[in-house]
Amino acid sequence: MKADLQVHDQVARLTVIGELDAYSAPQVRDRLVEALENDARWVVVDLRKTEFIDSFFLTILMGAGKRAGGKCGDIIVVCDASHLLQIFDRSGTTELLNVVPTMEEAEQLLYDWRASDQQPEEGQS
Amino acid sequence: MSTRRDRVTLSVPAQTRYLQAVRLLTGGLGARANLGMEEVENVKTAVNEACTNVTEHAFCDENTPDECSMKLVFFLSDGEMTVEVIDEGCGFDPKHLQPRIRPPLSEQGSLGLYLVHELMDEVKIESAPGSGTKVIMTKRRSR
């Protein structure tokens, strides 16, 4: 498994190549937690080159989404492989983790979140 | 149709570093049983979840000792594969399981056994406190 994590402009972008299970995923978790404890408010996880995920990794993603959400951010998962999409679907996490099939859709969602984040709260002048 | 039923056994340390090897063998045997590609992926995920449970819970220690092992028995026939994941750990009372109810989506986990039931056609769990655990799961080729 090879994981690349870049944090830029408050977005942590994680790309994973290979297989994620209870042996390999903790490395990814530690790096995600570190990114979220520092600068990142949003997380984009690119699984287009990932061959396997399990419930252990789903739990890590849910934890990352929760941490990001706590700072008014959120998580997006980019995934287009049917056997992985089935795992999100069967576990009921597709909506929670904002699973989308393309990076273009992820960027659009991120753009929308940023836009709504920059709007002044009601009652503020 | 052939009624031949092959049996393959594997014993590995109950450590997460062996999960990938277990999946590799499971995938190869699933193809050998003439399951479809998606069905093979389902079996790989289910077996991985059952084995992860062994590494995390079976031996009642925070860190599973290296000498603890898990045994997998595969039964293959044309269009059907049954896998038994067996440990000799501390066991539990299966009455307390509710694997058919999706657990709350929380950070704490517990989705594994639910996924096993979702992805396989039949699942049976045999366990008792002090007597280890056997998870028996079957996948059939869809017609």
pLDDT at B106: 61
pLDDT in tens, B46-101: 999 999 999 988 887 666 677 899 999 999 999 999 999 999 999 988 887 766 66
All structural domains of chain A: 2-109 (3.30.750.24)
Here the CATH number for the domain that contains residue B53 is 3.30.565.10
φ/ψ region of A37 (left if φ > 0, alpha if ψ in -120 to 50, else beta) reads: alpha
Q: 3-state DSSP call for residue B70?
A: strand
- Complex-level ipTM: 0.88
Q: What is the C-alpha to C-alpha distance for residues B29 and B79, in angstroms, rounded to an integer?
A: 11
**Tokens matching residue A55:** 């419930």
* Residue at B54 is within a domain: yes
CB contact set of A2 (below 8 Å; sequence gap of 6+): A16, A17, A18
Which amino acid belongs to residue B134?
K
Q: What is the C-alpha to C-alpha distance for residues A62 and A31, in angstroms, rounded to an integer?
A: 15
pLDDT at B72: 98
* Residue at B1 is within a domain: no
CB contact set of A3 (below 8 Å; sequence gap of 6+): A14, A15, A16, A17, A27, A28, A31
pLDDT in tens, A49-68: 999 999 999 999 999 988 87
* Partner-chain contact B52 A56, CB within 8 Å: yes
Instruction: Give contacts of A 69-108 with B, CB under 8 A.
Output: 82-83, 86-87, 90-93, 96
Q: CB atoms < 10 A from the CB of B20, how many?
A: 16
* Residue at B59 is within a domain: yes
CB B69 within 8 A of CB B85: no
What distance in Å separates residue B80's CA from the closest CA in chain A?
A: 19
Range of the domain at B60: 6-140
pLDDT in tens, B94-142: 887 766 667 766 645 578 999 999 999 999 999 999 999 999 999 999 9
DSSP B33: T
Check whether A27 has a pLDDT greater than 50: yes
* Partner-chain contact A66 B105, CB within 8 Å: no
pLDDT in tens, A88-124: 999 999 999 999 999 999 999 999 998 887 776 655 5
Q: What is the C-alpha to C-alpha distance for residues A115 and A100, in angstroms, rounded to an integer?
A: 19
**What radius of gyration, in Å, describes the C-alpha atoms of chain B?**
15
φ/ψ region of B64 (left if φ > 0, alpha if ψ in -120 to 50, else beta) reads: beta
Assess B112–A contact: CB distance below 8 Å, yes or no: yes
Q: 3-state DSSP call for residue B8?
A: strand
Structural domains in chain B (count): 1
What's the pTM value of the predicted model, to 2 decimals?
0.90
pLDDT at A71: 58
